[in-house]
Chain A
Amino acid sequence: MTMMDVITVSEGVIFAYFIGINAGYLTLNFFSIFSITRYMRNRALDDITDSYSTFHPPISLLVPAYNEEATIVASIKSLLQLNYSEFEIVVINDGSKDSTLATLIEEFKLIKFPEAYRKQIKTNIVKAVYHSSIHPTLRVIDKANGGKADSLNAGINLSKYPLFCAVDADSILQRDSLKTIVKPFLEDPRTVACGGTVRIANGCEVRGGFLEKAGLPSNLLALFQIVEYLRAFLFGRMGWSALNGMLIISGAFGVFSKSVVLEAGGYRTDTMGEDMELVVRMHRKLRLEGRSYRIIFVPDPVCWTEAPENLTTLKNQRTRWQQGLSESLTMNRELFLHPKGGTISWLAFPFFVVFEFLGPLIEVLGYLLMISAFAFGLVSYKAMAAFMLVAIGLGILLSVSALLLEEMSFHIYTKSKYVFILFLASVAENFGYRQINSLWRMIGFFRWLKGGKGTWGEMKRKANWTRS
């Protein structure tokens, strides 16, 4: 085999990969269009049926907090105002080094309480449980540092209700987010978990802990992440949910059946992707036991989060996510092509392995190979143009498809100029941003290979909304 043969074969593989991944996502987009149309039709019914369908199961909101002194009070205050009939808030202070606990004690008049509860999942030492003397539905666990997963497990142990919702301390929820996300549990008793759409809060107007008006940020990185989140949630998860093959529920906001999570053993503390790992493990357990269940995604924008606006924080986030994804898949590899696994084992899991787990590696190598082959004259202008058209053109098509789904559904960005800006961002993010992302994810892949240990994802937050 000559050098030219190697180049030609590689070229074929690279083209096949880029066309394959984009075709895969476009197929998901196709499913999403149907799902979202059906979802919006049912949603229109809610206005009519809401008057006589107001039962909502009680929910425990679990809020892990590590060094969140800047945002924790505002977050809890907004959670206390959620429009839902019965819920409790359990904040888990995971050995914060700052004054998170002291702030909570002072602001919510916390008192130590001799709480009796079942320790169904083993966790790091719980030092104390506090009750708020002004908000009966608020409790705080003070525990030794053990990471986010350990905190959530402690919260599950203390929680009272059959459903729990894991919420990031810095998230901004819609006032009726719990009502929205609990619907699948009411509509189908087989539902064991439900994830909601997370959107970017940068550039939005937030007042009193709630989002008043959606807007776009001036920071280019945050703007690109808006397009990215639209793509990931509106057709990534929506498409997989339609196929009952959703492998990820964002750690920022998801509701779970407590009994099923307990059966599965709670969150694993030895992974960076505890949110994804739990969902994959639940699939593994329920599929292999032959049980009928649903893990659902609701496309309503229920949760808003602050996106990193600088390259270093974004890089850390993306490498961590890739490590988490790699761990989640390899820890549950038994599910891969398992005869009892159905859609998960034969479609979702292999797709994730090829395009999400190995994808960044292939993508980065593809770009490097094509660019260097072109530089050395081993690839023609035409082939290079074809490569760029496929890699970038299909990427733009995917992003613009996500904008279409947004326009078909929620019209969060009401001003017409936002549509133009988002269209331009959908095009521009394909020139550099996506490639650098692949590079960071590849780093995450190698860190996973080396066996890096998980820690809390620290991010310097601006939390501008807490000031208004």
Chain B
Amino acid sequence: MRRAVTTDAWLEVDLLGGGRLPLGYAVLVAGIVLLEPAGAMLATAAAVALASVHPERWKMVRTVAMGGSLGCAGSWAYGTVGLSPSEPDLAMLVHVAVVGALFLSADAIVERRHLRSVAPLYLTLWCAATLLAIASRQSAALALVAAVPLLVTKYSYGRFADIRRTYAQTTRALSLLPEVAGLTPLGHGERTAVYAAALANDLGFDLHAVDRIATAARLHHIGHISLHEPEVRKGPLDGDELRRVSGELLRETGFLDDVAALVEQCQDQGPPASELDAAAVRVCSHLDDLLEAGVGDAFAALVGHHPSGVERTAAIALLGLHDRYPELVDDARAASRILTLVAAGDAGHGVEADPSHDCR
């Protein structure tokens, strides 16, 4: 209940690159613009008080206090300089632009925003604040109407965040199937996804592509479930066949073509990959094999395993990533540990993977 009151009152939306942005900042910005200096400071103080009951209170209080006071100062300075256009609506627009820019830069600094993912929302916030400020001066009812774009944004971002979470969970559940059946080591899909997402991020892919690569990594071994029963399998699977079956399984659904193409290219012994993202998944899967086998310096060995071509580029990038973020392995372990624990039940009943079945 309290969470609903505090986060919904701020009209928070989930960002693609992680984190949340309260669209309610638009109301505060409009308030600072509309009120006299003393009133603006009072509004900021009220907003700080409201922020202090938010689940993530410290960051939020810092953003609101810093952004609010910067905004108040900017608003006061804008009024004193007297450069504002004579047309009142245009003057309001410039005024909101000044205060909004100050407030949002405070938000960007305090929250260390990923500008790529937050830019459209900053634009929405600024447009909505301008409309709100101009409308409020005319009538309160019109101000309510001017808030409609904010509500629409909140709604569509909410639906998107929901389906994104559900999609990730469903693919995660699917990726566990070959693992709990003992066909691949537990957590292999999830670890590969963590490495691949980190690598894709580092290589500068856009956020949708990072999502896609992580999904492909998570499902790159899905073909196992329709290929063999662990009991009847004699020896290691043919890598080509696994690649083909995994890809086919995904492709036949008709909508996962891009993920399927990635999966087809991401198995070992495959044809030389033409795309860096496919190579990323392949290299990450290989890295997990090496770590699983206990190879001392797995990251360095990785580069040795891929002496040429696009995989080498990916492997070197991964090595560099590891040098900068040594905790990457821990992240992957942490992500898969939770899954491994639930999938295996209690330790006594753990489903153990047979290393001889390990053939990716």
* Pairing of A with B: no
